[in-house]
Structure 1
Amino acid sequence: MANLRALFSSNDPAGVGSSEAFANRQYQWNLVATAIGQRLRNVAGPGFDVENLKAPRNNVIVFHGVGGIGKSTLLRKLEAAFSTAEQRPASRVPSLGKERCARRYLSGMDPLTFDYEDLHVRVDRGVFELFPLRGSGMPHTLRVPLHRLGVLVHYKKPNKPGELIFGVVRDPNAALYGTDLAAFGYTSTEAVRVPHADEPLFRAYFTEVATLAGRRVV
């Protein structure tokens, strides 16, 4: 009893310790890890068609419950888990595997953009998007997941500007930039022509994109 009186009669916080513990969320960690792994296997499979918008897809995980049970904390921990290993929380985080692939779907980083004449392209959350601007001659936008993106500046003659080709590759192991023409399953050739002197601009941008996607350039 004397010890209890001593504890509760003092307002000095020095005698009371505290620490952060994020507990009882292993089931949710495993759910996310399983969902991401299944998603990566599905999009990398031979039967996946990015153009087939009618096929059913499960792209959303919802955590719900009364206020104060840790939903926002869980999301912050998930965000940290998809960052570098040094930034992961100290609580038990399952191995998600293929970290760069997973990060490109859930990363909160700002979009990576590039503009050239009448073309505007960007990469956001694992998806490459090309937008039509006035005078570009493009009838619609192009959206391709990074693991299937192919880009090529194709020079037919050494003294002539090259054709700018975007498309979907059949094999995700194909080069993202400098893609072989035979590797494309679908292509969109833009009206823009790229002089030899401007090719390094495209190479620099798509090298950064390839690094984000864990792919290569040639």
Structure 2
Amino acid sequence: MTQLPPAGWYPDGRGGRRWWDGVAWTDHGQPAKTDRSLSGQGRVGLIVGGVVAAVVLLIVVPLVLVVVLDQDGPEEVAVKWTTARVESDSETLCRLSSDTVNSELFGGFDGDTCAEYGRETRSELNEEFAEIATTYDELLADVDTTVQVLNVEKRSDNRVLVKVRWTQTYHGDDLDIAEYIDENVSGQTLTLTVMRKDGQWLVHGVAV
């Protein structure tokens, strides 16, 4: 996770200083000195201070925006998790699940290697589907997955129940696959318990 600059006084680019609380700029500031007979060294100090302040702003503002914008809420996590489960995207499923859910899904699989596990499981799926003259990736190209949020129930600031319904539509020409998807794997409903830990929302429980 990207580290923000520590709390402290930083040059404001106008000769004064402004307090950074470790997360955002505050209204507290120290005005610039009113002595206009600045020496050459003083002017250099102001210039350097302005450069430092600009650099701090360039670093801090994008980082704050990234931290805020890059975090999915419980509904988005529920939709992505369900889509990953339906489409057997093991890497995404692993990354959006708590250790408890990963243990249930993958038998105690180590979440630190989600990418490697995703590659292995997708390779196995492609090998299995190769027996019917296609790969799993090719099959997914003919399938549209839709996840709809039906209800959101906030139990606390860090615990939310999200009820979703997912459907799949097959656009290929294999009638057996079309019939199987229509009768067995489309139109199911799940209720996900999504909890926030260390600033990240993860799926901690699933009920059909």
TM range (shorter): under 0.3
The higher relative CO (CA closer than 8 Å, separation ≥ 6) is in 2
Normalising by structure 1, we get a TM-score of 0.23
Normalising by structure 2, we get a TM-score of 0.24
In our comparison, the structure showing a higher alpha carbon Rg is: 2
Query: More helix per residue: 1 or 2?
Result: 2
Query: More strand per residue: 1 or 2?
Result: 2
